[in-house]
Homo-oligomer: A and B are copies of this chain.
């Protein structure tokens, strides 16, 4: 089967989540990704718990499958020289070392673009490469906090809440992946590469504003944490049931009328205060209470069945263990097994890229540290087995 990004070569200086996830998207669609790691220890996620019995970290495996791992000590002159040789043969460099690190080694865009003017060089950092805080260390929570996401996640009266997974890393990785392909398109037309500077704070902010920014920018009101409710629609919330919770989502007038019918409250269909989206938002508490009183004595299953029949959007809220057993998700091959050399079979998510001609494919294991040293250094730089042995002994690779 053809692959959309076949022939594209990516050199990754990535660690933790943002860049490894970004380049995993490239792996999924057929690009070759060479991940450079510190000799001896590698990406910090290689020791992140939980580990398999064989000592491999789940987080590392999930984010780095299908990549080639080479080791490379950037704190040695020879290591830096090797990078300069490698970039001659790649299309893309992606990095999320601390902002300024690559520049200080002569491995920033300025340095590498002189060697390969067609190079696309993408950098993900907490705050970007410009501005007063650009040199500050930042992780996912920094961006979730300073991008405004935590301020609008969580319950009224409760603390600002971090989204469970490192969502700022994923969102920044996705923006970067899109920008790289756009830059690749431009390179193929214009013949030159460029520098892509992605800030995790910028990315989070730009996804928070559309729904939460209006209150502040139009009316000077500070958007509050609304728990599971939506600022722009009511009823649109999670409600307690006899045996758990259910999400009910009124997205338009038809849903509202149907919900009233199912609840046996058709009489409210004529109340002018409730007849528009804005009106219902202004009567949030009483409408949420109305729905809550209706859901409380019924089971989630009963409610989902009744509302689905009436075409009112609703959803159960499964616990984590129910999700990988969801027939829908399984039918999409979103739980697959890869065979790790050391740990044996491990379950990971499949590819979200259901493309009819060039489907995504992630049925590859994650590499062990330096697994592809020989392959990459011999094929790309022509090093002999002996030279590779010397570089290894000297701690350069």
Q: Closest chain B residue to A317 by CB distance?
A: B145
Nearest B-chain residue to A248, judged by Cβ: B141
State the Cβ distance, A239 to closest chain B Cβ, in Å.
10
Q: Which residues of B contact A128 (CB under 8 A)?
A: 332, 354
Within 8 A of B (CB), among A129-145: 129-134, 136-139, 141-142, 145
Interface string of A175-205 (1 = CB under 8 A from B): 1011101111110001010111111011101
- CB closest chain-B residue, reference A170: B207
A226 to B195, CA, bound (A): 37
Stretch of A82-90, A210-218, A370-378, A385-393 on the interface side:
A210-218
Which of chain B's residues have a CB closer than 8 A to the CB of A58?
A: 210, 213-214, 217-218
How many chain copies does the complex carry?
2
Q: Is A346 a contact of B232 with CB atoms below 8 Å?
A: no
A328 at the interface (CB under 8 A from B): yes
The yes or no answer to A109 lying at the interface (CB within 8 A) is yes
CB-defined contacts of A45 to chain B, threshold 8 Å: 232
* A323 contacts B by Cβ under 8 Å: yes
Check A277/B316 contact, CB under 8 A, given A165-B211, A210-B21. no
**Nearest neighbor of A20 in chain B, beta-carbon distance:** B210
Query: How many Å lie between the Cα of A371 and that of B388 in the bound state?
Result: 64
Q: Judge whether B138 and A165 touch: CB under 8 Å.
A: no
Judge whether A161 is part of the interface by a CB distance below 8 angstroms: yes
The smallest beta-carbon distance between A162 and chain B, in angstroms, is: 4
Question: Closest Cβ of chain B: how far from A104's Cβ, in Å?
Answer: 16
Task: Give the residue of B29, B160, B313 whose beta carbon is less than 8 angstroms from that of A317.
Answer: B160
Given A159-B245, A171-B170; A332-B164 close (CB under 8 Å)? no
CA distance A356 to B29 in the complex (A): 26
Closest to A109 in B: B356
Question: Is A146's CB under 8 angstroms from B323's CB?
Answer: yes
Cα separation A212 to B348 with both chains bound (whole Å): 11
Nearest CB of chain B from residue A367's CB, rounded to whole Å: 16
**Chain B: which residue is nearest A138 at the CB level?**
B313
Q: What is the bound-complex CA distance between A52 and B215, given in angstroms?
A: 10
B-chain residues with CB within 8 Å of residue A315 when the two chains form the complex: 138, 141-142, 145-146
Interface status of A222 (Cβ within 8 A of chain B): yes
Told that A49-B231, A216-B324 touch, could you supply 6 new A-B pairs with CB distance under 8 A?
A44-B251, A137-B313, A139-B313, A152-B320, A190-B357, A213-B349
Give me the 4 closest cross-chain CB pairs, A-B, nearest first: A58-B214, A152-B164, A131-B331, A174-B174
Interface residues of A (CB under 8 A from B): 2, 4-5, 16-17, 21, 25, 29, 44-45, 47-52, 57-59, 62-63, 109, 127-134, 136-139, 141-142, 145-155, 158-167, 170-171, 174-175, 177-179, 181-186, 190, 192, 194-199, 201-203, 205-219, 222-223, 225-228, 230-233, 236, 238, 245, 247, 249, 251-252, 276-278, 281, 308, 311, 313, 315-321, 323-324, 326-329, 331-332, 334, 346-350, 352-358
